[in-house]
Amino acid sequence: MSDYLTQRASGILAHFTSLPSPFGIGDIGHSAHAFLQFLEDSGQHIWQFLPTTPTSTVFGNSPYMSTSAFAGSAHLISPEQLVLDGLLPEEEIISSDEWSQYTTDYEKVAKFKTSILEKAFRKFSEKDKGFLAFIKNTKWLKDYALFMTLKEEYDQKAWFDWPEQIASRKKSALDEKIRQNKERIHYYLFEQYVFFSQWQILRKKAAEKKIRLVGDLPIYVGLDSVDVWANQNIFSLNAKNHSPTHVAGVPPDYFSKTGQRWGNPLYRWNCRDKKVRKDLISWWTNRFAAIFKMVDTVRVDHFRGFESYWAIPATHKTAVKGKWVKGPGLSFFKNIEKDLGKLDIIAEDLGEITPAVIKLRDRLGFPGMKILQFAFDENPANPFLPYNFSSQNSVVYTGTHDNDTTVGWFLSKQLTDNRRKRIKRFCNRSLLDSSGIHKDLIYLALSSSSCLAVFPLQDVLGFGNDCRMNSPGKKEGNWTWRCAPRFLNREISDWLAEQTKLFGRA
């Protein structure tokens, strides 16, 4: 268990895109700094968010399907900070009423952010010492900049549909592309420099307020990503056309009767080639090193995939006929800890969890996740009921980004009136109505024995299912929710601070 997890604390789950901002999307500048102040006023010491990597409208803007496992999203770059850095005149970022306060229009945001970044790039000196040092010290950067440049040249086609010499990374062909596209490649280098420069300002402010940043690491990467293109030997791909032989997903579960077919290529964990295994460990070590430069703690999504993973033949349209395959297990983490030291990880251990997964999690000392929305069936031994939490080494959530909001869930058709009454009884409430149900579950979470209690921002504010962040299996309408500034008010922060103090988490 990490040292900070021995003290009771609590926090809020809110992605940057959801924060109030005059520019159509929250960002890592003023939006994030204002939210840090709200967290401090609310007595919170944890800020958890979703992956901050680039997103694409091709994949519904999901932060879990990115073009890079290392890069930062240009959507999250702060226009105001560009002005403060002298890279833009203030009139370039004057806001207008055309931006919605409640949803993100990703296409419009992408056009706006690209426009101002290109203008800032033209004013930027590429001889800047910080910029040159960033390029020199960032291993993944040049591949990413070239990849994004080639995506533009080939009309956003997937890399495996590029000319074969480029898809297979023939050195002479890549050298020629680098020579031809030097300026555009440098634009993408600049974009990442700006992102990570702004990020370090944010991290410093969080540390000053003693707020720990909790990032999110998807176990898999997107097929059409620089990670797969630049590291083809560590993924299960067909040699002839670079397509995956098997893809990732999960079997039928709580969320889907046919399972979830994510489509990500699988790692070659069981390859006999020593070089492949060495390259896999090296890539993952670099990945963990990169994210721990950004955050204090990492929630590893789909942790169970390290013990065993669901392999679906790529030709199958659903996840039903996949099979479990043994993952890299304990030795994987021990190898990485040799280079990086003890890893501050929260294990996302939801879904079909076996004793072997629990054993792996516990041997590594990683806290698991407890979701209160999963707790209230007729089973008194339900492991998500607070009185069944067997260890303080866990993180309790009212819900996650994949759940409905607590108010939306309580009012939904999946609950009967008898079940609603049962939920209210657990909260020591007699009234069968939705008023205050979000506060009831936050009360249960704060009062539990878990070392950390985390609540989605929508639950803190008591919002309904129209504010849900993601519906697994649904292709449209996800990831767009935003919070209007008036909701982050003193009344809310005072209430949450009082509750947090009451249960010894302040």
Question: Is 348 an annotated catalytic residue?
Answer: yes
Question: Is 40 an annotated catalytic residue?
Answer: no
Phi and psi at residue 455, to the nearest 5° = -130, 135
Q: What local confidence, expressed as pLDDT, does residue 431 receive? A: 66
Could you tell me how far CA 170 lies from the centroid of its own chain?
33
- CATH number, domain containing residue 490: 3.20.20.80
Q: What local confidence, expressed as pLDDT, does residue 228 receive? A: 98
Q: What local confidence, expressed as pLDDT, does residue 94 receive? A: 78
Within 10 Å of residue 163's Cβ, how many Cβ atoms?
A: 11
Judgement on whether residues 25 and 133 belong to the same structural domain of the protein: yes
Judgement on whether residues 395 and 321 belong to the same structural domain of the protein: no
How crowded is the C-beta side of 442, counted as CA atoms within 13 Å?
Answer: 29
Catalytic residue among 216, 224, 301, 459: 301
Q: Which of 112, 41, 38 is nearest to 77 (CA)?
A: 112
Is residue 455 a contact partner of residue 42, using CB atoms and an 8 Å limit?
A: no
**226 is a domain residue:** no
Domain final residue pick, 312, 336, 364: 364
Catalytic residue among 348, 349, 404, 440: 348
Catalytic residue among 27, 143, 344, 402: 402
Per residue, the 3-state secondary structure of 226-265, as one string, reads HHHHHCHHHECECCCCCCECEEEEECCCCCCCCCEEEEEE
Question: Is 339 an annotated catalytic residue?
Answer: no
Task: Give the number of residues written for the chain.
Answer: 506
User: Over the stretch 85-105, which tens digit does the pLDDT of each residue have?
Assistant: 999 999 988 776 689 999 999
Q: What local confidence, expressed as pLDDT, does residue 476 receive? A: 87
Place of tokens 């990032």: 215
Judgement on whether residues 287 and 258 belong to the same structural domain of the protein: yes
Mean pLDDT of 187-193: 98
377/473: higher pLDDT: 377
**275 is a domain residue:** yes
**427 is a domain residue:** yes
Judgement on whether residues 374 and 346 belong to the same structural domain of the protein: no
SS3 for 368?
strand
What whole-number distance in Å separates Cα of residue 73 and Cα of residue 444? Answer: 35
What whole-number distance in Å separates Cα of residue 397 and Cα of residue 207? Answer: 23
User: Residue 45 has which token pair?
Assistant: 């010491």
**417 is a domain residue:** yes
The range of the structural domain enclosing residue 422 comes to 3-220+365-502
Q: Which of 384, 406, 404 is nearest to 472 (CA)?
A: 404
**225 is a domain residue:** no
Phi and psi at residue 410, to the nearest 5° = -65, -35
**181 is a domain residue:** yes
Judgement on whether residues 56 and 123 belong to the same structural domain of the protein: yes
Question: Which helix H or strand E contains 216, and what residues bound it?
Answer: strand 212-218
Amino acid at 480: T
User: Over the stretch 198-231, which tens digit does the pLDDT of each residue have?
Assistant: 999 999 999 999 999 999 999 999 999 999 999 9
Q: What local confidence, expressed as pLDDT, does residue 144 receive? A: 98
Q: What local confidence, expressed as pLDDT, does residue 1 receive? A: 45
Domain final residue pick, 364, 381, 408: 364
Judgement on whether residues 58 and 203 belong to the same structural domain of the protein: yes
Q: What local confidence, expressed as pLDDT, does residue 300 receive? A: 98
Domain final residue pick, 308, 342, 364: 364
* Confidence category of residue 435, pLDDT binned at 50, 70, 90: confident
Judgement on whether residues 282 and 399 belong to the same structural domain of the protein: no
Q: What is the largest CA-CA distance in the chain?
A: 73
Q: Which of 50, 53, 6 is nearest to 298 (CA)?
A: 50
Q: Which of 46, 4, 1, 102 is nearest to 397 (CA)?
A: 46
Judgement on whether residues 21 and 84 belong to the same structural domain of the protein: yes
User: Over the stretch 9-56, which tens digit does the pLDDT of each residue have?
Assistant: 999 999 999 999 999 999 999 999 999 999 999 999 999 999 999 999
**459 is a domain residue:** yes
Q: Is the pLDDT of residue 335 over 60?
A: yes
Judgement on whether residues 402 and 392 belong to the same structural domain of the protein: yes
What whole-number distance in Å separates Cα of residue 46 and Cα of residue 36? Answer: 10
What whole-number distance in Å separates Cα of residue 257 and Cα of residue 240? Answer: 34
Judgement on whether residues 308 and 411 belong to the same structural domain of the protein: no
By CB atoms closer than 10 A (0-12, 13-18, 19+), residue 271 is middle
Is residue 322 a contact partner of residue 312, using CB atoms and an 8 Å limit?
A: yes
Within 10 Å of residue 451's Cβ, how many Cβ atoms?
A: 22
Instruction: State the total domains in the chain.
Output: 2
Judgement on whether residues 204 and 259 belong to the same structural domain of the protein: no
What whole-number distance in Å separates Cα of residue 94 and Cα of residue 56? Answer: 26
The strand pair at 323-326 and 297-301 is best described as: unpaired
Judgement on whether residues 36 and 76 belong to the same structural domain of the protein: yes
* Confidence category of residue 232, pLDDT binned at 50, 70, 90: very high
**312 is a domain residue:** yes
Is residue 157 a contact partner of residue 150, using CB atoms and an 8 Å limit?
A: no
